Amino acid sequence: MKRLRQRGGAIRWNISRDTADPQKFVETFVTESWADHLRQHERVTAETRKIEGRVQALHLGPGPPKTTHLIAEEMPE
């Protein structure tokens, strides 16, 4: 997934294990902007979908893995 995300424009990528639930992993990646992230969705190839499907097949919970989006905010000093 790291190579796929970076090829799609991610500037950072990480996979973390949840210490409260050692079977839970969380993937995070950062893009320059929300527009860049939206472009990632537009550029998905058949190869990418195939790899994403193989990764999602590792998911053990009911339903698909949960996806959330976090957007950095500029905070006044």
Q: Tokens representing 31?
A: 């893009």
End-to-end CA distance of the chain: 36
Q: Which residues of the chain have pLDDT under 70?
A: none
Contact 49, 40 (CB under 8 A): no
DSSP class of 18:
E
> How many residues does the structure list for the chain?
77
Q: Tokens representing 16?
A: 């973390």
Tell me, what's the pLDDT at 33? Answer: 92
Tell me, what's the pLDDT at 73? Answer: 87
Q: With CA atoms as reference, report the closest residue to 36 among 10, 12, 13.
A: 10
Tell me, what's the pLDDT at 26? Answer: 94
AA letter at 7: R
Ordered by start, the domain boundaries in the chain are: 2-56
